[in-house]
Amino acid sequence: MCSIIGYKGQLDVAPLLVNSLERMEYRGYDSVGIATINDGKIILKKGVGKVADVNKRLDLGSLPGDTGVGHTRWATHGSVTNTNAHPHYGCTDSIAIVHNGIIENHKELREELIGIGHIFKSDTDSEVIAHLLEKYYVDQKNIKKAVIDTCKRLEGAYAFVAVFEDGTICGSRYNEPLIIGSVDTGHFISSDILGFLEYTNKAIYLENRDTVILDSKTLQIFDMEGNPVNRPITQVAWELASVDKGKYAHHTLKEIHEQPVIVEKAGTQNLDRVKEFCNIVRNSRTVFLTGSGTSYHCALIAKHLLSNFAKIHAETMVSSEFQYTLDGIDNTSVLLAISQSGETADVLQAVKAAKHMGARILSIVNIPTSSLARISDWFLLIECGPEVGVAATKSFTAQLSLIYTIVDRLCNGCLSFEADKAFLGGALREILDTEIEIHRIAERLRDATDIYIIGRSIHYPIALEGALKLKELAYIHAEGMTAGELKHGPLALIGSNSYVIIINPNDTTSNDNIATAHEIKARGATIIGISDRPNDVYDIFIKIPSVKSIFYPIIEVLPFQILAYYLALAKNADPDYPRNLAKSVTVK
Ligand code: M6R
């Protein structure tokens, strides 16, 4: 949820750190700071705001030196203030640290350290790391031992990097990523390969509890006993670095527009990998599907397709609840985890729980080197390129397209997705051509406080996804629900200030939806229909093309994405970086 970057080498470090932090800003953007070493002294600048703004204000990039660390924060402990921004010193300015994760025993550690005279400045859990390092370093004058002893005291999840005034950089991780990038001029230590991919595609993924030390000459990695360990160098695909906005005002808009091509190209990855994936699914008794947020909505659609078309027994559980419902999972089960980032803590927790019960792990991810891909027995890639906007858009259609490819294979081509991909790409383009009209509708809805979104059957997960887009991008209270449930309670909320969006393509759910729409209209609400057919009951109509009924989810999500994007603009919100959120939620 925060991003960490460190560099030691021959180049001016500050501009490198600023650039890397901008690339990883999706991980957290409450505040930013960097610390560098100059003439044997650590100098530090930090402040509240996004990297570009703080850099403009404080000129972070001008800090001198060739060694330093940087951080963008997504607040967990302590509010968003300059003091709580990282890096953090210990009592003196001889050590500075940056941290990602949550130190669960920070209160006990803080009390213990205060008891021996340490003075804390921030409200963060992270600051205990700086004080522990300082304490052990003062006691032992040995950086390696100080780091290992510090790690032994920490409970929870962490990745941290510390800079010492002698110019040494060290770091360690447990259940949060930390990756080394090696360049001719030195080394990076980063939360994400995007932190250094512009400079090198050679990455070393640290294992849990590894400690890395970079001094003036060497890079060494140790285990918790202090023994040197070797970690392999992974060549990362360069394409992951392409994160510019092109001609678009925002990453989110660019990513929305990439979807037709993503659907058209879906499933072009190594077919042998898909084949093996399907074999594992076929040989299981039950497939449990999990994910968080948008990826969970994809899992709901996947369950529907697996059950109804591939006739495979499937169950779905949102990742944050998975550990509480493990009954029925054993070595005949498969857990299929869906995650764009492959780093979501709730998803990784669900995977660990299922592994513990003996299940095989399949995953669908965007990042082949992610934690999820690496702990899975088998994984497939959604291949949609980096998604920078915090709201998932193109990753959702890419996940769905891959699910259709898999299910099609499992049911011996009963969906004929392959044959329909080009048509679906065209249908998405047709909707994009109506962007101006959806923009106008967004202007009409800008003052809406409550929007209900209803759909039935396979459209219900899209109602949930549409509501999630409106919540996170436009800060509007939006609820997705099955159309049939409305009359069992929520109808009491409907009145003349309510807006109800009905997902109603011309399929077997349509007649019932129209009846529901009339019930709502009778209570004075404004009805917005998303359909391939107009109907008098709609006050506002968003037209989508007709496609084969089972493929509607792929196209009907697009109007919601466009609507939420323009509502964000109408409300002066930043669509790429919604408040309080981060792209990868690596904390539980
Ligand atoms: O990287 P993941 O797919 O695991 O992320 C899961 C959710 O955090 C993510 O979908 C989140 O809900 C998005 N902000 C939705 O737009």
Ligand 1 neighbourhood includes 295 CB (under 6 angstroms)? yes
Distance 269 CA to ligand 1 centre (A): 23
Task: Report which of 327, 371, 368, 367 is spatially closest to residue 352, judged by C-alpha positions.
Answer: 371
Distance 398 CA to ligand 1 centre (A): 14
**pLDDT over threshold 60, residue 2:** yes
Instruction: Give yes or no: 151 in active site.
Output: no
pLDDT of 105-123, one tens digit each?
999 999 999 999 999 999 9
pLDDT of 274-286, one tens digit each?
999 999 999 999 9
If one compares 328 and 71, the residue with the highest pLDDT of the two is 71
Close Cβ partners of 153 (under 8 Å, ≥ 6 residues apart): 105, 109, 132
Mean pLDDT score of the chain:
93
**Domains present along the chain, CATH in parentheses:** 3-236 (3.60.20.10), 245-432 (3.40.50.10490), 434-577 (3.40.50.10490)
Instruction: Give yes or no: 414 in active site.
Output: no
pLDDT value for 334: 97
Distance 338 CA to ligand 1 centre (A): 10
Ligand 1 neighbourhood includes 341 CB (under 6 angstroms)? yes
Amino acid (1-letter code) at residue 347: V
Total residue length of the chain: 588
Cα atoms in the Cβ-side hemisphere of radius 13 Å centred on 539: 18
CB 163 within 8 A of CB 118: no
Select from 289, 320, 344, 364 the residue to mutate for testing ligand 1; criterion: most ligand atoms less than 8 Å from CB: 344
| Residue whose structure tokens are 């980063």 | 190
Select from 341, 372, 465, 579 the residue to mutate for testing ligand 1; criterion: most ligand atoms less than 8 Å from CB: 341
Query: What's the rounded Cα separation, in Å, for the pair 131 and 546?
Result: 63
Q: Where are the beta strands (DSSP E) in 236-330?
A: 286-291, 314-318
pLDDT value for 193: 86
Q: What is the DSSP string of 342-399?
A: S--HHHHHHHHHHHHTT-EEEEEES-TTSHHHHHSSEEEE-------SSS-SHHHHHH
CA-CA-CA-CA torsion sign (112, 114, 117, 120): positive
Task: Report which of 65, 103, 71 is spatially closest to residue 84, judged by C-alpha positions.
Answer: 71
CB 128 within 8 A of CB 109: yes
pLDDT value for 327: 83
Ligand 1 neighbourhood includes 373 CB (under 6 angstroms)? no
pLDDT of 490-530, one tens digit each?
889 999 999 999 999 999 999 999 999 999 999 999 999 99
Distance 14 CA to ligand 1 centre (A): 31
Ligand 1 neighbourhood includes 392 CB (under 6 angstroms)? yes
CB 265 within 8 A of CB 381: no
Closest atom of ligand 1 to 293 CA is 12
Ligand 1 neighbourhood includes 561 CB (under 6 angstroms)? no
Ligand 1 neighbourhood includes 339 CB (under 6 angstroms)? yes
Q: Whose CA is nearest to atom 9 of ligand 1?
A: 293
Q: What interhelical angle do 394-410 and 293-308 show, nearest 10?
A: 20
pLDDT of 68-93, one tens digit each?
999 999 888 899 999 999 999 999 99
Q: What is the DSSP string of 156-215?
A: EEEEEEEEETTS-EEEEEEBS--EEEEETTEEEEESSGGGTTTT--EEEEPPTT-EEEE-
**pLDDT over threshold 60, residue 241:** no
Select from 294, 320, 381, 468 the residue to mutate for testing ligand 1; criterion: most ligand atoms less than 8 Å from CB: 294
| pLDDT band with cut points at 50, 70 and 90 for residue 582 | confident
pLDDT value for 288: 97
Task: Report which of 233, 67, 215 is spatially closest to residue 144, judged by C-alpha positions.
Answer: 215
**pLDDT over threshold 60, residue 239:** no
Element holding 100 (H helix, E strand): strand 95-103
**pLDDT over threshold 90, residue 28:** no
Closest atom of ligand 1 to 585 CA is 8
